[in-house]
Amino acid sequence: MAFKGKVLICQGTSGVSGGAHIVSEALKQKLHESGLSDRYEIKRVGDRGLFRDVLIDIISPNGYRWTYERVSVEDVDEIVESHLIRGEPVKRLLAGDDYRMFFEGQLRWVLKNCGEIDPEDIEDYISVGGYEALRKALHEMTPEDVINEIAASGLRGRGGAGFPTGVKWRICRGYEAPTRYVICNADEGDPGAFMDRSVLEGDPHSVIEGLIIAGYAIGASKGFIYCRAEYPLAIRRLKIALQQARDKGFIGKDILGSGFSFDIVLKEGAGAFVCGEETALIASIEGRRGMPRARPPFPAEKGLWGMPTVINNVETLANVPRIIVNGAGWFSSVGTDGSKGTKVFALAGKVKNTGLVEVPMGVTLRQLVFGPGGGMARKGYAFKAVQIGGPSGGCLPEELLDTPIDYESLTQAGAIMGSGGLIVLDEGTCMVDVAKFFLSFTVAESCGKCIPCRVGLVRLYEVLDRITKGEGVEGDIEFLELLGSAIRETALCGLGKTAPNPVLTTVRYFRGEYEAHIKDRRCPAGVCVPLLRFEVDEGKCIKCGRCARVCPVGAIAWERGSFPIIDRSKCIKCRACIIECPEHAIN
């Protein structure tokens, strides 16, 4: 029997929004019309991380592989007729060097199956070794063996705090209780972060398998997956995967004849950012308002319904099966002394290649930004900073680009690893405005339970707002430092304790920008509108008049052969002239 070729179509959220379903149906129809249905199998896969949808891979029966990017339904006939029938790849659609560069700098362990297997077919997961870790754990290892293996691997929680996973499991198992629980935290709420979503959409069984193994290790009989309702595709695929796992006997009573029984419940969250904090998440599962509580006791002692509870995020649990199969030494061979394995980042901002990247712990920010990231996106704009750790992370300047990506180094620099959000900023960015933007998010998402967060963050935001409007006064910078530090020390939960980080790090590394706003009433990046004054640089101006033609309020007077004149009394500072000017002659 001849081997079939494969056509892989990325159909995660990004792919679907780009029209992957339509392209898939068109391909099926075209293959049928061309008599190729028995030679090529169309396969749905998750998103691969580089969002140039629709992404399609054609794998010939002899194993050769071609990747097409930005495919539309109009391209289907050409791909089938040229590539599949005549054997001539469509060069204009083939992925280029930047596509290869994006993946060459990565080490994909957690993301290995994303974009390669059908997330809605458990047999596809089993074919690449899925559930072998569960078999090994249940039949060859005691719960203590599993915990020891995870502890020896050096795996730390990928949700932000970086607590050693094996230690957390051991503490929880050590408490006497009639029952214990394990929870997968999939309440991914950071702006621009989509690591967990992509794993759940592209490889849901790896998370489910990790959750079952965690339940076996700590002696739990029930687990929960807490996923925000704004992830409808992830939730749909989780439901399919859970049912398939039950049908195969991986979930339920006497799993694989081991005597271990375990059930999993999928809980949909309502989208509150604070529910990513473990005690707020527990309250939400219990049917109460999602608000943090003081710790101790920690959930490992008294968690869900007062029982010992382990909470791990999606990426942490997806690592577990690989560690059990390959061994602790395999995992710990990558990374630094204190941060083992790999980390997935959502790379965004002013960088050429945006998307999901997975790199070994210990690589530098420079290697990440200028390796898989491809460097700066805008020609003529140099790197300025990287904001790492989500809305509660820190902004690190160019002089710290060689900082290793590990928990200790980032904390020392004033940032945090967080769940993996990483935004690249260029010199066209105002750092005061950036701090204000992220603080506006945490102010809106605060549950309001404790005064440092409920009141303190609002006061920080008010000062930043005044500064960006040109109303800053002497002493504002010192006030931001004092109040930010106080909030960090006294807030109830992790959201409040880390929320001042964008303010404190921008003041620490970009103090000159704050001083320019306050003392000179000037925004060096030209972003804060109330501080802008538009001027024509006659040395650059070519007298084309395009600025006058696009001005919506007629604030620019221009005659052919003359320099334009801006009437500041009419100017609404919309920046249309700056965008339109071909010579960048308006400052």
**Tens digit of each residue's pLDDT (9 = 90 or more) over 231-255:** 999 999 999 999 999 999 999 999 9
Output the CA torsion 381→386→391→394 (10° steps): -130
CB-side neighbour CA atoms (13 Å) of 271: 6
Mean pLDDT of 85-107: 93
Give the pLDDT score at 416. 87
What would the two tokens of residue 41 be? 């199998």
Tell me, what amino acid is at 582? Answer: P
Count of the separate structural domains present in the chain? 5
Mean pLDDT of 545-554: 94
Distances in whole angstroms, Cα of residue 424 to Cα of each of 195, 291, 383: 17, 32, 8
Asked if residue 355 and residue 305 are part of one domain, the reply reads no
Mean pLDDT of 88-100: 94
Give me the CATH number covering residue 579.
3.30.70.20
Give me the CATH number covering residue 355.
3.10.20.600
Asked if residue 286 and residue 218 are part of one domain, the reply reads yes
Strand, coil or helix: 514: helix
Give the pLDDT score at 189. 83
Asked if residue 409 and residue 436 are part of one domain, the reply reads no
- Among the listed residues 244, 217, 224, 202, the one whose alpha carbon sits nearest the alpha carbon of residue 113: 202
Give the pLDDT score at 192. 77
Give the pLDDT score at 526. 85
Asked if residue 252 and residue 192 are part of one domain, the reply reads yes
What would the two tokens of residue 389 be? 């750790």
Q: Is the predicted pLDDT of residue 87 greater than 70, yes or no? A: yes
Instruction: Assess whether the previous peptide bond of 296 is cis (omega < 30° from 0).
Output: yes
What would the two tokens of residue 205 be? 């069984």
Asked if residue 487 and residue 466 are part of one domain, the reply reads yes
Asked whether residue 177 is domain-assigned, the answer is: yes
Mean pLDDT of 142-147: 98
Distances in whole angstroms, Cα of residue 11 to Cα of each of 47, 52, 262, 404, 444: 6, 12, 31, 34, 32
CA distance 137 to 157: 20
Mean pLDDT of 157-171: 92
Share of the chain above pLDDT 90, in %: 85
Alpha helices in 72-179 (DSSP H): 76-78, 97-104, 122-127, 132-140, 143-153, 165-174
Q: Which of 289, 312, 332 is the last residue in one of the domains?
A: 332
Alpha helices in 260-334 (DSSP H): 278-285, 314-326, 328-332
| Structural domain of 148 | 122-332
Q: Is 557 within 8 Å of 586 (Cβ atoms)?
A: no
Give the pLDDT score at 18. 94
Asked if residue 376 and residue 245 are part of one domain, the reply reads no
Q: Is the predicted pLDDT of residue 1 greater than 80, yes or no? A: no
Task: Judge residue 81's burial from the number of C-beta atoms within 10 Å of its C-beta, 0-12 exposed, 13-18 middle, 19 or more buried.
Answer: middle
Q: Is 36 within 8 Å of 60 (Cβ atoms)?
A: no
Q: Within the chain, how many helices (H) and strands (E) appear?
A: 25, 15
Which single residue is written with the structure tokens 């489910």?
208
Asked whether residue 322 is domain-assigned, the answer is: yes
Strand, coil or helix: 511: helix
Asked if residue 281 and residue 165 are part of one domain, the reply reads yes
CA distance 564 to 546: 10
Give the pLDDT score at 2. 57
- Whole-prediction pTM: 0.91
CA distance 446 to 457: 9
CB-side neighbour CA atoms (13 Å) of 523: 26
Asked if residue 325 and residue 192 are part of one domain, the reply reads yes
Mean pLDDT of 468-486: 96
Q: Which of 383, 407, 426 is the last residue in one of the domains?
A: 426
What would the two tokens of residue 416 be? 């945090």
In the sheet with 181-186, reading across from the earlier edge strand, the strands are 263-269, 222-228, 181-186, 309-313
Mean pLDDT of 15-19: 95
Which single residue is written with the structure tokens 């404190």?
504
CA distance 19 to 52: 11
Q: For the ranges 300-314, 408-422, 514-528, which has the lowest average pLDDT?
A: 408-422
Q: How many CB atoms lie within 10 A of CB 444?
A: 10
In the sheet with 394-397, reading across from the earlier edge strand, the strands are 355-360, 342-349, 421-426, 383-388, 394-397
Q: What is the pLDDT of residues 318-330, one digit of tens each?
A: 999 999 999 999 9
